[in-house]
Amino acid sequence: MLRVDTNISKSTTTDDRGSYLFNDLQPGVYKVTIEATSFKTVSQRDVRIDANAVRRVDVELQASGVSEAVEITASGVVLQTGRTTCRPTGSMTCLSARVTGGPIRAGRASFSAASR
């Protein structure tokens, strides 16, 4: 919170509900700035504080710079369509597969699999 005519500032921290309180402010015009990690900074200018009065300033914070990354790591057996052998590793089971029923269309294919 910055008093505009004197450039004197005060700061505080919100409670667990997001509420904040400044006590003993001198009457005048202030600029209120709210900053929080992962949110855009919000400023309200020309906030008038009068003597012996309570002034409420509500703001809505918008997310900023939030990103999420998902990393997928996998290993397995490469399917070789001309051969029916594979080398199992760990608890992997080898399957022999052949495509039947003509050309493969998007979303439809039939497989005949036998466990080895």
pTM exceeds cut of 0.75: no
The token duo for 94 is 């080898």
The band of 4, judged by pLDDT with boundaries at 50, 70 and 90, is very high
Pick from 34, 32, 33, 36: nearest CA to 63: 36
The highest-confidence range among 20-34, 54-68, 80-94, by mean pLDDT, is 20-34
CA Rg value for the chain: 33
DSSP conformation letters of 43-107 = EEEEEEE-TT----------B-S-----------PPP-TT-------TT---EEEEEEEEEEETT
More confident residue, 86 or 67: 67
- The confidence score (pLDDT) of residue 58 equals 87
pLDDT digits (tens, 9 = 90+) for 75-89: 665 655 665 555 555
pLDDT digits (tens, 9 = 90+) for 37-47: 888 999 999 99
